[in-house]
Chains A and B, each alone.
Chain A
Amino acid sequence: MEGTVSVARRVSPFLLVIILVTFVLSLASIYEGVDAYIKNDSTTGNFYLTMGVTTLAISTYLLFQTRKRMLRLAMPLSPLNTTVECQKCGFKNVREFQRGDFVFKQTEDQCPKCNEKTMSIGAIFREVKEKEKTREAG
């Protein structure tokens, strides 16, 4: 079964301006720091470089966050399986869910083992992927 996926883009221009200003300020600060080092003023150089690098990191992080903000509404569900069982010999077959399936429904399928129309649905389930399980446990 496929999930519904809709994508929406919503980034505030105000936020973008703030990020841009912070980015420019951080570059200016780094420039000041390098300039101070050239002039052998290591205290000022350290101050500006620390400030510049920190601000640059924050603005870059914010920029990536903004990209993430492009909202993605996805509800992907794992494919659903139907177990069809032979009432006579116990043969089991797992196939994809089909519209109209329900547990204990007698199907028209013929048992490949005993060649009789004694197949019925034993279970309908979805298997959650290992990655999703780990996230859930964490």
Chain B
Amino acid sequence: MLTIQQVSQLLPGQDNILSWIMQIIFLGIFVVFMFYGQRIQMYIMIREVEGSLFKLKMMRDEARKAAITAINEVGKPQVDPTAQVDRFLEYFAITPVDLDPAGIIWRLEHLLDVADARFKDDVKLMAPQADTTQINNLELTLEVALTLNVIYKIIRHFYLLGKKTLSLYIIMQVQMILPLIMKEAEAHAGALKAVQLGQPIGDGVGALVAAKLMHAYEKTKIEKDCVVATVPIEGRTAYVLKAEGPGGNVGKPGEAIKQVIEQSEGKISLAIVIDAAGKLEGEKTGEVAEGLGVAIGGPQVDKYKVEETALKYKVPVNAIAIKEDIGDVISPMRKEISDAVDRVIERIKRLIRERTKEGDFIIIAGIGNTIGIGQ
């Protein structure tokens, strides 16, 4: 059996007590890391998640406070809206059954309509003095607060579950996606002031293109919360449509495009859908790209309707995307995105010249939240 002296010969040092203590401590650290390395790593991850969770909590609280302040300022309610806001922040919607997918789109659309009507009714009750634009903006403010609350609660759930079970894998999966979640949460927190003040956001660039095309022409309302104008472009007649602004509103562009195609009995030579699209890292903000298909995000109901109608009447659908970062989508519109509007209009004109003949009818749909954008 090895004696302490024999072991000590393996290590450099002197025969004083301090040298011994230090060697034992360093050996101890080595052994601790060998056996408890993974656990230490887990505690470091838990600390990291804890820090982010604290940030998320602050964002959630700020958003809740901002929503209450905005309701009090704009809506001038008789009673304190705090309890109603807290109730709103806990809202949830159960998605339709997808085991039998037949007809799921219509069930989803019904659910979304009910949710939208319910949200608007609740905001009207909270802020009785607010006008339509203000109601739309307040609804958007509350939705931002709701999103931040959901993000906070989900991360808190995994954090507490990981702590309770001491499972590296539970903590690890949260820690790995945390940078992306934090980016989205920070974007929402940054958007709060913008939606409160009714400033245009990055998502509204499609609507801004349509607004620029239809400005100075007569507009008519179309289902639901959308406006359409007949605009002569390059010797063709374009039905330009967008959600009705300047309040925070996305409308139902799918239904609007469907109606326009049906009203013209399918005599549409080309449909161009313009929307903001998430950029890949390395791509420039405000870059414009062309493609095919229906560029409508969200819960896919509108996209489905356009696809169905386009198929029925054999209408070719082209898409123009304006690239932007996830953080820019709901933040106040950046100059690069605003400047892209003229380039998009040039592309639209080129597409029309190349793909249609003079006298043809076309549809130009600007998709996105039209907050801060009139028409």
Contacts and interface: CB of A to CB of B under 8 A. Distances in A.
Contact of A71 (B55, B335, B339): B55
B13 interface: yes
A32 B13 CA distance: 9
A61 interface: no
Given A6-B62, A25-B25, A28-B22, A124 B186 contact: no
Contacts of A75: 186, 189-190
A32 B19 contact: yes
Interface stretch (B159-167, B197-205, B263-271): B197-205
Interface in B280-334: 285, 325, 331-334
B332 to A, nearest CB: 5
Most buried by A among B19, B285, B339: B19
B354 to A, nearest CB: 28
B374 A105 contact: yes
A44 B285 CA distance: 58
B331 A103 contact: no
B373 A103 contact: yes
A108 to B, nearest CB: 16
B338 A102 contact: no
Determine the interface band of chain B, counting residues with CB < 8 A from chain A: 35 or more
Contacts of A123: 338
A71 B54 contact: yes
Contacts, number: 110
Contacts of B14: 32, 35-36, 39, 41, 44
Contact of A126 (B12, B26, B246, B335): B335
A29 B39 CA distance: 28
A43 B14 CA distance: 11
A135 B11 CA distance: 48
Interface in B58-110: 58-59, 62
Interface in B205-249: 208, 211, 215, 245-246
A102 B59 contact: no
A32 B18 contact: yes
Nearest to B51: A71
Interface string A109-137: 00000000000000111111000000010
A8 interface: yes
A125 B338 contact: yes
Given A25-B25, A28-B22, A123-B338, A8 B12 contact: no
Given A8-B54, A71-B51, A73-B59, A104 B373 contact: yes
- Interface of chain B, main secondary structure: helix
Most buried by B among A39, A43, A126, A127: A126
Given A4-B62, A47-B12, A77-B190, A102 B198 contact: yes
A126 B373 contact: no
B120 interface: no
B193 interface: yes
A36 B186 CA distance: 54
B197 to A, nearest CB: 6
B375 interface: yes
Most buried by B among A8, A36, A105, A124: A124
Nearest to B186: A75
A82 B370 CA distance: 16
A102 B372 contact: yes
A53 interface: no
Interface string A48-85: 00010000000000000000010101010100100000
A124 B199 contact: yes
Given A6-B62, A102-B246, A44 B197 contact: no
A125 B334 contact: yes
A105 B246 contact: yes
A44 B25 CA distance: 17
B333 A124 contact: yes
A35 B19 CA distance: 11
A58 B12 CA distance: 22
Contact of A77 (B12, B200, B246, B331): B331
Closest 6 CB pairs of A and B: A102-B246, A104-B374, A125-B338, A125-B335, A103-B373, A126-B332
Interface of A: 1, 3-4, 6, 8, 10, 12, 25, 28-29, 32, 35-36, 39, 41, 43-44, 47, 51, 69, 71, 73, 75, 77, 80, 97, 99-105, 123-128, 136
Given A4-B62, A123-B338, 19 more contacts: A6-B62, A10-B51, A32-B13, A32-B19, A32-B22, A44-B14, A73-B55, A77-B190, A99-B198, A100-B198, A102-B198, A102-B246, A103-B373, A103-B374, A104-B375, A124-B372, A125-B200, A125-B337, A126-B334
